[in-house]
Structure 1
């Protein structure tokens, strides 16, 4: 708040308080010509009379005390512009104190899990339960309550990881986020191979995943275009590059859909997927707990895997 606005607020507050005091003082006085307290001209139901009696003194004193209390309150809690108040109270300070108190409680709760490996935490039932709760509160908006993702959001329950599924890479994804950029290649490819270039490359991509025969006409046409443009990120064999977040095109999974139309849309217009960084929001220990929950989804214990297969 600027000095000018601060002065304006102070003047406005004092004017209102003075106005209340003056109004109270003015209305409680009797003036020449006023009816006597016993006089009345209003009678209802024969015996109900309205007199001109003043308010009780205790009531008037109560009003004055209210004004005095208001002044004291504003002086103590800082109600005069930028004046901080004698009590140095502020809503921001109270919020900070509450946050510090709750942070201390959280720190005590999470202290046993600090610095532990994600795979180690994944074997701790309590740690996984905490990770599940944090996931539901923070990550489920994008990845879904079951962590199976959606169009544009990866499924965290399988073994397909565009940025790598090791403990360190999972933790890095949570802490510092990821940005996956697929450039727009439609214009470039059409300039190289004509109007069917994007269709041909998309078909070849589907052939890499076994969705269409390798000898398909469009797939054969797209192979050369793929090797001229796409290999830089996805590799000659289509296995991708986890350092770049370039997906493996041979596993049959496409985050934005593996239909021909969807793949063509990706090639034509590109994609820009963002995983926000959670280092500031969660801190390392809570990120490790979330990582342990995610790890447990894609790396279930051997006993749990056998049980699921038997069912």
Structure 2
């Protein structure tokens, strides 16, 4: 808050409090010539008279006490513009204290799961209930309540993992996040192969998962692919988990498998970000939600681990 606005608020408060004091004083005092409380001359139906009796002194004093209290309240709490108040209270400090209390309670609840491997957590029904709840509160916004994702957001219930689907890889993804960058290649490709270069490389990319046999554009796209794409996706198109480069030989397309979607992915590039949740959730809660996510695509190992645990 600027100094000008701060003084505006302070002056406005002072005027209001002063106005209340003056109004009480002015209306409570009787003046010479005022009619008696029973002589207002307002009479109805011959015997109903309106009186003008003043408030009892104790009642008026309560109003004054309320005003004094309000002044003390504004001095103790930050109610006068940018003045912080003598009590040092702030909503931020109040929030931090409450957060510390609730975090301590959560730590106590989650402490029994600290450091446990994901398969062991996936075999624990109580851990999975907690993991599902954390997922619903934190992850469902992007991946959906069923974890099946959407265009641009991975399906967590299948066996396709661009960054690896082993338990520790899934945990690393949740804790520290991932950032996948597909650079735009349209200008580079046009310079290498002319106006039909984009058509050719899209045809070849599609042929890796749907070999058409004898496709003219796919044949033209192969050398373009080998010149630009093998560094990330590999010579055979199976991708690279270390880079998050997807496997192009399956039928899963994160951003859509239509020709329009492939033209956009290759020509304009993609930039996918999975935020890090280490600071937001802490390691134990991240471990619980990672175990839940891992169990969605590995139901059999999770069930086997549960049977072994029993």
Equivalent residues of 1:208, 1:214 under 8 A apart: no
What is the Cα-based RMSD across aligned positions, in Å?
2.1
2:90 corresponds to 1:90? yes
Deviations 1:73-110 (A, max 9, x none): 22333433444444433322221221111111100011
Aligned position for 2:228:
229
Aligned position for 1:291:
290
Deviations 1:225-276 (A, max 9, x none): 1111111211111011112111010122110112222212211111111111
Aligned position for 1:184:
184
Aligned position for 1:23:
23
Aligned position for 2:111:
111
Equivalent residues of 1:77, 1:86 under 8 A apart: yes
CA–CA distance in 2 between the matches of 1:104 and 1:125?
A: 23
| Unmatched 5+ stretches in structure 2 | 305-310
Equivalent residues of 2:176, 2:278 under 8 A apart: yes
Q: Per the alignment, in what secondary structure is the counterpart of residue 274 of structure 1?
A: strand
Equivalent residues of 1:204, 1:222 under 8 A apart: yes
Equivalent residues of 1:198, 1:268 under 8 A apart: yes
- Count of residues in correspondence between the two structures: 304
Q: 1:90 to 1:222 in 2, by over 3 A?
A: same
Aligned position for 1:49:
49
Equivalent residues of 2:147, 2:157 under 8 A apart: yes
| Correspondence list, 1:212-251, <5 A | 212-251=211-250
Aligned position for 2:205:
205
Tell me by how many angstroms 1:152 deviates: 0.6
2:148 corresponds to 1:148? yes
Equivalent residues of 1:21, 1:64 under 8 A apart: yes
Equivalent residues of 1:214, 1:220 under 8 A apart: no
| Unmatched 5+ stretches in structure 1 | 306-311
